[in-house]
């Protein structure tokens, strides 16, 4: 079966990182997801916010792998700039930082996943393919952060849809925080991988849209609504 | 000056605290950011848990009381300044009373008591000191901490401040010098008019001076910060890079040096408040110490995620926490030694009535029934330790399918809300300040 191609743009202000990521994901074996096989093709690169927006608008990639901290702004600025130009692309944030602020900001701006730079090549390639397929990618750290945020006491009227995790979603997040992959979680909880992915996507949506105290307080600090 | 826990079991939870002297009470520390004259008021305010403005006003009132306030301030400044160099870098004072109201009342009573004592000293001019004390108190009641209440509470507070200030003044004037109520009120009005007039005239220059002082303080703080960053970078990162060059042909050692430095720098950059306060324990801090040791000693990578750490754990549970940390350490060491996996995942969650720790690797696993009952290993150091402290350990493993150790330790439920909000100053990640 011939592999489908995921077209990727890399955004990072360190040339050596771009080089390393390109080598790691381009050389990987085709990744199987569901019934299809995927290959990754890095079509372009960018170094800062302005260049990134230009490159993305021009080359229309499927997925953008973007460092959180950039000259002239950050990944969230790139996402907003690209959306403002009417271009849709799925963003995967890649960062060396563990800081909660970075994580929240980039997810609230619309990224579909967040991984740290200590991830290895095959895992990163897998993450790119899954983001392209519409799934949410959670590093253990992001899962832990989600659990922290959604377990804190609520200080405002709740929207049951957005402001709480269901028991199942909590289970999935806990397993992600313990280092399980989606496949391992599916086996552990005896559900399908697709169901795990559905739960993860639902949690991502809540993280993006919820008006829980921490999330809005953080946004108010930065005057972003 | 870190006391590293020995390779053997951790006998007391204090073995994992980063600095043993953090346990003892320390003199308040003068900080560059909160320093108007000598930093005494700022340091005292932080220690007591009150607004620094209140402490400064107290010193002003006491200074008017025959100059005794100045003597007090100078003495305090000498003590704090001399004791300064010997203090530990990270010290978080404990709030003394649960409710802010109690603390402010305490400060007020101390000031009142001191005024009573100084009343009979020379240079104490009662007609000046008491009215000014009332005015300042009234002002502070209305002004201090008004930012955190809306609506009715704020109005009540402002009214209370006005009543105390004005009423106290009038009461003092009528009672002490025998003037009538109307006369006293007139005196008050004249006084207020004079003060307003002076204020209007002096305001612009006062504002400008205030702003200049502020700018100067800010640039001083920034310069200090820059120096601190440079010193830290020079010390640790450059030395590590030098070492790495020397060991360039030893990949294992190089990876270990890089891992150690990455952890230290990441923690320093993104979690500057990650320290333990005296008398309390933080799950995250203790686990970080242990994972750092395991990473260094066994050349594996340990990824740690902690959830729900915002409240401190009572010292009464120190033994249980020590057992939990010790068992987690043994689990990590086992995974490092026997699993063959390059990475260990540690997840700790502080729930309402217990702490759960998961230590997982995707290595070779083992067959638990095949381990001889005479071999102490896993049975004793993990399961036995947890059981003796009142918790449980479960080891889930299968040959070829990795291993997960699940540790559960019951702890008393979270403290009441006052302590909860007082303690959760730093959040994870940030807020998670993770």
The confidence score (pLDDT) of residue B429 equals 34
Residue A51 confidence class, pLDDT cut points 50, 70, 90: very high
* A:B CB pairs within 8 Å: 82
Print the SS3 string covering chain A: CCCEEEEEEEECCCHHHHHHHHHHHHCCCCEEECCEEEEEEEEEEECCHHHHHHHHHHHCCCEEEEECEECCEEHHHHHHHHHHCCCCCEEEEEECCCCHHHHHHHHHHCCCEEEECCCCHHHHHHHHHHHHCCCCEECHHHHHHHHHHHHCCCCCCCCCCCCCCCHHHHHHHHHHHCCCCHHHHHHHHCCCHHHHHHHHHHHHHHHHHCCCHHHHHHHHHCCCC
Residues constituting chain A: 225
Q: Of B303, B307, B402, which to mutate for an interface test with A (greatest number of A Cβ within 10 Å)?
A: B307
The confidence score (pLDDT) of residue B382 equals 85
Using a CB-CB cut-off of 8 Å, the residues of chain A touching B354 are none
The confidence score (pLDDT) of residue B356 equals 92
- pLDDT tens per residue across span B351-372: 888 899 999 998 888 777 666 6
In angstroms, the separation between the Cα of residue A144 and the nearest Cα of chain B is: 6
Is A204 touching B (CB cutoff 8 A)?
Answer: no
The confidence score (pLDDT) of residue B22 equals 45
Q: Of B283, B431, B433, which to mutate for an interface test with A (greatest number of A Cβ within 10 Å)?
A: B431
**Mean pLDDT (chain A, rounded):** 85
Residue with tokens 């909160």: B34
The confidence score (pLDDT) of residue B27 equals 66
User: In this complex, do A148 and B308 lie within 8 Å of one another by their Cβ atoms?
Assistant: yes
Residue B16 confidence class, pLDDT cut points 50, 70, 90: very low
The confidence score (pLDDT) of residue B432 equals 36
Q: What is the DSSP letter of B416?
A: P
Q: Which residue has the higher pLDDT, B418 or B315?
A: B315
CB of A134 closer than 8 Å to CB of A201:
yes
B27-41, B80-94, B171-185: least confident range = B80-94
Q: Which residue has the higher pLDDT, A155 or A139?
A: A139
- pLDDT tens per residue across span A89-121: 999 998 877 677 777 788 888 899 988 877 888
Considering just the CA atoms, what is the radius of gyration of chain B in Å? 29
Give the 3-state secondary structure of residue B377.
Answer: helix
Q: In which element (H, E) is residue B134 found?
A: helix B126-143
Please state the ipTM of this predicted complex.
Answer: 0.76
Residue with tokens 């540690």: B346
Average pLDDT of the residues in B36-53: 76
User: In this complex, do A99 and B308 lie within 8 Å of one another by their Cβ atoms?
Assistant: no
Residue A189 confidence (pLDDT) above 80: yes
Closest Cα in chain A to B350 = A148
Considering A90-94, A157-161, B73-77, the range whose residues carry the highest mean pLDDT is A90-94
Closest Cα in chain A to B309 = A148
Residue B9 confidence (pLDDT) above 70: no
Is B215 touching A (CB cutoff 8 A)?
Answer: no
The confidence score (pLDDT) of residue B416 equals 45
Dist CA B29 CA B198 (whole Å): 36
Residue with tokens 């080891």: B395
A182, HSE (Cβ side, Cα atoms, 13 Å): 21
- pLDDT tens per residue across span B120-166: 766 666 667 777 777 777 777 766 654 445 566 667 777 777 777 77
Look at the alpha carbons of B131, B132, B136, B137 in this order and tell me if their dihedral is positive or negative.
negative
For B214, residues 6+ apart whose C-beta sits below 8 A from its C-beta are: none
The confidence score (pLDDT) of residue B315 equals 58
Q: Which two tokens stand for residue B260?
A: 């150690």
- What are residue A74's DSSP bridge partners? A69
**Mean pLDDT (chain B, rounded):** 73
Is B303 touching A (CB cutoff 8 A)?
Answer: yes
User: In this complex, do B433 and A178 lie within 8 Å of one another by their Cβ atoms?
Assistant: no
Residue A221 confidence (pLDDT) above 60: no
User: In this complex, do A100 and B306 lie within 8 Å of one another by their Cβ atoms?
Assistant: no
Q: In which element (H, E) is residue B347 found?
A: strand B343-350
Residue B203 confidence class, pLDDT cut points 50, 70, 90: confident
Question: Parallel, antiparallel, or unpaired for β B343-350 and B301-307?
Answer: parallel
Using a CB-CB cut-off of 8 Å, the residues of chain B touching A121 are none
Dist CA B38 CA B47 (whole Å): 16
Q: Which two tokens stand for residue B290?
A: 């242990």
The confidence score (pLDDT) of residue A44 equals 94
Question: Parallel, antiparallel, or unpaired for β A90-95 and A63-67?
Answer: parallel
Residue A147 confidence class, pLDDT cut points 50, 70, 90: confident
Is the model's pTM score more than 0.80?
no
Residue with tokens 């998961």: B358
Question: Which of A100, A143, A178 is closest, CB to CB, to B432?
Answer: A100
The confidence score (pLDDT) of residue A60 equals 94
């Amino acid at each position: 079966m011939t592999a489908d191609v995921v077209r990727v743009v890399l955004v990072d202000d360190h040339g050596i990182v771009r080089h390393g990521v390109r080598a790691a994901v381009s050389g990987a074996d085709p990744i199987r997801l569901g019934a299809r096989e995927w290959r990754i093709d890095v079509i372009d690169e960018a170094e800062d916010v302005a260049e990134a927006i230009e490159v993305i608008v021009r080359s229309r990639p499927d997925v953008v792998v973007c460092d959180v901290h950039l000259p002239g702004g950050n990944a969230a600025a790139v996402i907003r700039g690209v959306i403002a130009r009417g271009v849709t692309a799925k963003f995967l944030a890649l960062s060396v930082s563990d800081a909660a602020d970075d994580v929240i900001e980039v997810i609230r701006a619309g990224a579909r996943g967040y991984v740290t730079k200590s991830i290895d090549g095959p895992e990163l390639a897998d993450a790119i393919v899954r983001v392209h397929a519409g799934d949410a990618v959670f590093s253990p750290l992001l899962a832990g952060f989600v659990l922290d945020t959604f377990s804190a006491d609520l200080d405002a009227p709740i929207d049951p849809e957005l402001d709480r995790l269901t028991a199942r979603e909590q289970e999935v997040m806990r397993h992600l925080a313990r280092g399980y992959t989606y496949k391992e979680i599916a086996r552990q909880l005896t559900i399908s991988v697709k169901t795990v992915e559905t739960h993860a996507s639902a949690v991502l949506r809540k993280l993006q849209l919820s008006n829980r105290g921490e999330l809005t307080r953080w946004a108010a600090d930065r005057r972003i609504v | 000056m870190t006391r590293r826990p020995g390779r053997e079991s951790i006998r007391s939870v204090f073995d994992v605290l980063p600095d043993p002297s953090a346990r003892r009470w320390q003199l308040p520390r003068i900080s560059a950011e909160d320093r108007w004259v000598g930093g005494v008021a700022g340091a005292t305010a932080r220690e007591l848990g009150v607004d620094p403005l209140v402490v400064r006003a107290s010193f002003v009132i006491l200074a008017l009381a025959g100059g005794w306030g100045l003597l007090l301030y100078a003495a305090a400044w000498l003590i704090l300044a001399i004791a300064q160099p010997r203090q530990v870098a990270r010290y978080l004072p404990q709030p003394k009373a649960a409710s802010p109201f109690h603390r402010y009342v305490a400060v007020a009573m101390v000031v009142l008591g001191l005024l009573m004592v100084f009343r009979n000293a020379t240079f104490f001019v009662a007609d000046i000191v008491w009215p000014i004390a009332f005015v300042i108190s009234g002002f502070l009641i209305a002004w201090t901490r008004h930012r955190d209440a809306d609506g009715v509470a704020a109005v009540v507070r402002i009214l209370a401040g006005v009543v105390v200030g004005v009423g106290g003044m009038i009461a003092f004037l009528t009672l002490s010098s025998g003037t009538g109520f109307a006369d006293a009120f007139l005196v008050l009005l004249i006084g207020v008019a004079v003060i307003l007039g002076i204020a209007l005239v002096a305001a612009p220059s006062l504002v400008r001076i205030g702003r200049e002082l502020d700018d100067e303080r800010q640039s001083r703080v920034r310069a200090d910060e820059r120096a601190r960053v440079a010193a830290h970078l020079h010390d640790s990162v450059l030395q590590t890079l030098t070492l790495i060059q020397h060991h360039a042909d030893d990949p294992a050692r190089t990876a270990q040096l890089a891992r150690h430095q990455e952890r230290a720098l990441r923690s320093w950059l993104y979690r500057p408040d990650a320290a333990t306060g005296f008398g309390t324990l933080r799950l995250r801090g203790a686990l970080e110490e242990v994972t750092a040791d395991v990473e260094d000693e066994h050349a594996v990578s340990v990824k740690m995620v902690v959830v729900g750490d915002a409240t401190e754990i009572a010292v009464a549970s120190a033994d249980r926490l020590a057992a939990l940390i010790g068992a987690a350490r043994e689990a990590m060491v086992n995974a490092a030694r026997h699993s063959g996996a390059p990475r260990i995942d540690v997840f700790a969650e502080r729930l309402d009535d217990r702490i759960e720790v998961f230590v997982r690797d995707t290595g070779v696993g083992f067959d638990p029934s095949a381990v001889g009952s005479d071999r102490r290993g896993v049975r004793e150091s993990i399961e036995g330790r947890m059981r003796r402290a009142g918790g449980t350990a479960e080891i889930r493993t299968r040959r070829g399918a990795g291993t997960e150790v699940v540790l559960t330790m019951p702890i008393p439920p979270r403290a009441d809300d006052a302590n909860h909000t007082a303690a959760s100053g730093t959040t994870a990640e940030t807020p998670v300040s993770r």
